[in-house]
A and B are shown apart, each in its own frame.
Chain A
């Protein structure tokens, strides 16, 4: 029990409703978004290469999917591991209809695409409903296992629907080869619009009393039921809405990619989405967007990194483990006044680390890489700097960051020794020497490592349950404001 309970920044709106202000803000927001999307389409799209565009489209798609999964996984607390299946359903249903009827229907593309998005949403929502209904009997791990199985079943069904004798009803969804002949109608700004819509829907939900009933199911289902919340209905609703948004993303993907191959919807898509939601902070929409975009960009960015020999990698890992364990023991033993001085001293390596991040981003800017990745890295480096130099984190987080930098530097130094050691062991060297890893091949290892580090240091995720808002920003700078005080 804390003597003075910490004040939270509630997601409920802090200002009272007034019609004039409400409608001005609303219309203003719509105009601004439309202008922004138009400007983007006019100036950015023609200047981006195919590869840059691909990365941007993928990261927007995954951010949207993460936001929709966050609704199920984060806000309602139902651990779903089969989100790729909803994404696939939206893509395959709308793609199939498009490939069959678009040419003959004579409907203009600007009308056909929204129609297909609705079709994808409805199709995926129905499937979400179908999965959601049995889910009302399952909790926690059981639900996770069931949805995981469902995700695979959906993919395997699509693979087997190749129009052959084995296919159900002779339906041709392209099989393992993939559904072809989908018209290309999606532009990048459509995806951004969908992301904005997905964010707005979940954000609005959290801002109203309805959102509280979703959160209450996450927090304690039994108590929610005793308070009159129809928890099963809430769960099924969450599944349906989450699936519908994923279905829309699928429909846009199908009409961007021109084909729908089951390989793009493997279980690792679901895993990655879960990782995004967890790293972002379960329940935080902001967190889902941030980790959605950055993990997807990171995945692509790894392709540009040089490979690393197995000896160097394992040498570094061994050195890292040894230094971390030693550093923990040493740091733990520094107490009292020495601790204060030590923490102050750690600010210096922290600042050096931040400088290195900025310098790295600067060097990267000149490298031969996709603009999107470069921008993302610069933004991450800047965000890291801002987050660490805030008054609230300067004395707490920066020394920790400095400590991590010291450990990393030490581990790098020690790794020369461990590499030499690995070379000395002849049978091991014979195995390790010929192996060279590409950074992109290690992406799952890197994601898992990121997940482990986040879980150890910040189990609530990057944003915990917080959302980006002006109140949140003010809160970071130490200005707290009472919210929702009754008149």
Chain B
């Protein structure tokens, strides 16, 4: 089954963002924390680092003219992004250490933290409904590495994001596994636990379409270099994962080193997935690629 392009519409955000200070991935300076803030016509969010090392969000509801504070989880070391999700929730994304992210979901009405989870390189969809991320595993001590890619539904509850899970506060196994699809049950752990990891992400992060109904990323392993397109259906809370193996078609990475390739500037426009690829880590010039989404097939 090929991916249908017509459903991958582009849309403009309804909310006008007045101020948004956020931190790009890859900087961890908790002793000199970066400024992080957000303001639109309805809400203003700023952050304060407390003397004890904790971080507080100072929120102002500009419609109701009410101010409130929310203390974020103690393990959060650096705040990187703050933003509302619709009128109901606020999401705070930060770092636990140099590489692991923590995502905190706050209920706007109760002003309470309603969920938190850990992961790598989380990217919030433009409409705030979804959060794409790589499943958490401890970064040091080289066992139990997970290469599972997930999506969190921010409009659902913590329990709904842990269907069938015994521990509703588990920060590790959260949301829905969207790749690899052989582990695609909603609750299950990916099960990818070996000492090397597989399906290594070779794109810097997850690239969302403006319409929030798809995102792109790339993974590599041995002779396989997969460009992944995940289509999301917000109305039915459903998803489909489409894959295109670039190496099978174009013989990009020699010597079974697809996990060393780097994919940059991924985007989708007019039915074409455009990106730059560095086939190895040997300093060669990037190759511009343009792949029609007709070439993608439903992941089995």
Does A associate with B in a complex?
Answer: no
Footprint of B on A, CB under 8 Å? none
Name B's A-contacting residues (CB within 8 A).
none
